[in-house]
Every structure is written in structure tokens, then in C-alpha cells.
A and B are shown apart, each in its own frame.
Chain A
Amino acid sequence: MRHLNEGALRRMYDEPLAMAAADQAHYDSCSACKTTFERVANDARATTTLLALPAFETQPRQAFARLSVRVRDDEAHRPVRRHERWLTGAPAWRRILAPVGVVLVAGALLAGFTATGIVPSLIKVFEPTSVTPISVSPSGLPAANTVLDYGAVTWTPAPPSAEQVADASTAKARSGLPVLLPATLPKGVSGPVSFGIISHATGSLVFDGARLKASAASKGVKVAPMPAAIDHSTIYVNAGPALIEIWGSGADAGTTGAAPTLVIAQTRVPTVESTGASTKQLEDYLLSQPGVPPDLAAQIRAIKDPSTTLPIPIPAGFATTKSITINGVQGLLVDAGLASGVVWEKDGVIYAVGGQLTPDQVIALASSLH
């Protein structure tokens, strides 16, 4: 057998138990290796002396308290990360989503009340079982300050809030949703993964014609009187919880503005219920309001069954969409050139997978979730 090299003998000096049995047997019977070991050991002892320093006790708890102050200060001054802006909604997106949001929010808050029998006369006006794209143009949308006040909005127990959680098990426990992960990560996507949840919330909007009239007058906007079927009726939106997994959103994303490389999101389908007005009455009324672009209204009106179809806003010219079959159901593939995504609804849960991936990659990844 060949003699042990100096690296193996060096480790033997520090970690004798890590030595392989065959090496140990050779060493025990080899005087040349023992001579080399002595030289290696002497050098190690000399280096120990060179690098020796006086010892002292650390104070980890006091150090953590000191760090906590710096972390809080750091967080207060850190620029908002891309995915945070995405969640919060940039002003342009808020404007895009405002008209759609009124439709959804105004319609969607009531399922919980139905279940408990508190409001027995509810009409379910929106419970999506499929998705469809609608094209929206940021330039054609009104400024945010023209969004009118349609009535009092109340959230139970609180408005939805987003929160990062430590790990998959916490995310599962807090959201009640299974944490789906891809079988393998595509090239270009690497860990660590961040987990976020958005809380479940039920919101209500009590339509108030007088309040809308006053709001419109203060902003110089003309509105038609609110129909009697809608005035003083209430709609309830039941939304969340949602679970979001994000790859590639570390500190670099915060400082460089880099987008996440992969996002997997899932949420219980939002539902909208009404105490009086029907889906059609609400849709006709809300889509005719000032601030809703005519082409957007036309697209929503064209949806065959608005009570069961979730519109996915796609910025005009930004991406193309295609209907596909994914995991046995109809889904929507969004191709935005450098990024793509797929959205589908199955068994009361809406799933979305997207990132800086090709359409083929995103479909393969979405199909491999388990």
C-alpha cells in the first residue's frame, strides 16, 4: 500500500477517529509514515503557537440585543424590494386593478357569513372556477384620485396583511394550504426559498348612493344615481389565505432591484356575495362607472359566466396569453418574453407559478408540483 499523504496525516493529528480503517492499519505498521506524521504534527504545534491568542468570554445575549437595534434601523431604511412592491401594488397597478377590484371586492366578501347562517338571504355573485385574461392599458386608466367612495368598507377580522414566515411548516400551519414544491428547480433558479402568507379576511361594502354622490361632487365627476337594487345593499368579499414561495429574493434583490427568479403562489378562491343585487346588476352598474375604460368593461361583459370566471389582468403589449391544460384543468399561460407564468384553478384553490423562465419550463415546473 502507498504511504499516507501529508494531508491525511495532518487530519489524523486533528481528527484521529476520522481515519479509514485501512489507513490506520497501514500507519500502525509503517515507520516512514510515523516519521512524516511527527514532522506534520510538529508543524501543526508550531502554527498553534503562532496563532495563539488570549481567551475571553463572549456575551451572545447582549450582542443579540445590540444587533436587534441595528436590524430595526436597517429595516426602517431599506428600500422596498421588488416583490414587496409587487405585493403592495405600484400606483399604476393599483389604478389598473381598481375598477376590477371594485367588482371583485364589492362582490366577494360573504362566504363566511353564509356558512354561519348570519346572512341567510345572500346571493353568491362570484365564485370562480376558471380563469380568463383581460387586457388592460395603464395609459388608458384614470388617476387614482378619481376612484370614488361607494360606501363603508369593513374588514373582519382585519384587512389582509402579508407576512414572511420562517419555513414551510409554519407557512402550512398558518395558511392551511399544502406547501407545494417543484420536483427540481430549473437552471437559473436556486435557493434559499422565502415563504410568505397573506391572511384570510372577509370584507364588506355597504353601497351608499348619497355617499357616492358627495364623493363624485368633491372630485368633479358626474355619476348616475345608484340603482335602488344596489343602494344600501351589501356585498361581502371572502379572500385568502394565500401562500407564496419566492426564490431569488435575497438582499441582492433589495439593492439591485432584481426580480424574483421563481414565485409559486396559491390561494383559496375569493368569493363575492350580495344581500340583494345580482351578478348582472352589479356588473352592469360597476362597469358603467367613471374610471372604468370602455374596452376593459367590454372585455369583462364578454365573459360568458362572470360569476364563476376570474379575470386575470394582462397589461396590453406586455404579454401574450394562451389557454392550456395544466394538471388536468384549464389554465392560462402568460408569456412576457423574459418571464412567463401559468395560472389555474383546481378544487377551490387558485395556483400561480411564474418567474424568469420559458413557457416550457414554467409548464414543466407547474406540472411537477407536489
Chain B
Amino acid sequence: MLHAEAWRPAITTPLTAAGQRQPDPFERLFLEEYSKVVAIAYRVLADRGAAEDVAQDVFLQFHRSQSPNAEHASGWLHAAAVHSALNVIRGERRRVKRDTAHAVAESAVRLENPEHLVVAAEQRREVRQALSRLPEKAAAILVLRYSGLSYAEVATALRLKVGNVGTMLRRAEEALRKEVTHATFE
């Protein structure tokens, strides 16, 4: 009798005949990409805990549906991280106040001037709201590039030609600036 369980992708690390620990492809990918995935979600959410939650969801979804050896694995993770995080800020408007308070508390360690704290937190909130109002691709390209991805990585994640990334990034920056300015004078 064949057991269905045996077909399920295992997260446990297989052992060689000699008992040596083999590197598990999924674990290796996770360790390589986790910080980048969190950074992408954090750039959108400005909340460490929420970003780590998004990263967990993204990797779980990846494990269900993708091969860690696939060429597109990293691009898939980066795209999923930014889209998932954007969905969070679009779908949960009520989180904004709580996150702002959290960001204020986190920043308090670093900033001494309480006025600066409030201004920085308010600015972050406005930027996040502005991001949520941008077209999906514009927001995604901004977030990925400002999370430290190269132009080639951004192109892979968003399925663009690398030669078009600069132009689209430039437009997205202008769009963000307009959104933030608009929000400030509203």
C-alpha cells in the first residue's frame, strides 16, 4: 500500500546513508531569502511584527505551491511579499492607528525629541496610505527597489524587462510624491 503522506513535500531534513545532514532546499531558500522578504513587507507596513507575519504567510504559500529549486523561486517570494503587504494596508484601514502607535513606541528608543516622534510616525502613516493608493505595479516597483533589490531582481519579480525598470521606477516616484503632497494639503 502506498501512503499519500509520503508524497507530501516534507520540511524535515533527509539523512544520507551515513547519517549526514543534507541541506534541505526549502530551508536553504528560506534562510537565504527570509530577511529580504521581511524587508519588503516591512517597507510597506512599517511594522516589524506585521512584516514577519506576512513573511510567514508568504513562505507557507510558497511551500504549498512551488519548488524551492525553481528558477523563479526568489522572484516569486519577492512578488508575493510586496503584493501580500499591499493587500494588508489596503484591506485593514483600522490597523493604521494601531501601527502608528507601535511605530512611535519603536522609534522612541532612537529619537529623543517627542515632536520628531510624532512627525516621523505621521509621515510614515501618510506614506503608507499614499502607497496604498498607487497603482499596484507602481507601488510594487517602489517597494522592491527601496527594499534593496537590484533592477534585475525587480524585473524578475514583476515580470518586466530590466531596461524598463528605471522608467517605471521614475514614474512611480513621481506618483508617490504627488500622492504624499496631495495628502498633506488635503
Q: A: which residues have CB within 8 A of B?
A: 5-11, 14-15, 18, 40, 43-44, 46-48, 50-51, 53-54, 56, 58, 60-61, 63-64, 66-68, 70-72, 74-75, 78, 80-81, 83-85, 87-89, 159-164, 166-167, 191-194, 196, 198, 250-252, 254
Contacts and interface: CB of A to CB of B under 8 A. Distances in A.
B122 interface: no
Contacts of B165: 7, 11
Contacts of A84: 4, 7-8
Contacts of A58: 34-35, 38, 52
Contact of B6 (A61, A71, A162): A162
B18 interface: no
Contacts of B30: 60, 63-64, 67
Given A50-B176, A53-B43, A159-B1, A10 B169 contact: yes
B8 A7 contact: no
Contacts of B69: 166-167, 192
* Interface SS majority for chain B: helix
A70 B56 contact: yes
B145 interface: yes
20 contacts: A7-B163, A10-B170, A15-B151, A51-B127, A53-B42, A56-B48, A58-B34, A63-B34, A64-B27, A64-B31, A85-B4, A87-B2, A88-B3, A161-B2, A161-B6, A163-B7, A164-B8, A167-B67, A250-B65, A252-B65
B164 interface: yes
Given A43-B174, A67-B60, 7 more contacts: A10-B167, A50-B123, A54-B106, A54-B107, A67-B56, A193-B67, A250-B66
A251 B59 contact: no
Contacts of A15: 150-151
B110 A194 contact: no
B90 interface: no
Interface in B70-97: 70
Interface in B105-124: 106-107, 110, 123-124
A47 B11 contact: no
Contacts of B70: 191-192
A252 B169 CA distance: 32
A109 B151 CA distance: 58
Nearest to B24: A166
Closest 7 CB pairs of A and B: A7-B167, A251-B65, A7-B166, A11-B166, A251-B64, A10-B166, A84-B4
Contacts of A160: 2
Contacts of B7: 81, 83-84, 87, 162-164, 196
B2 A47 contact: no
B11 A68 contact: yes
Contacts of A14: 145, 151
Interface string B1-35: 11110111111000000000000110100110011
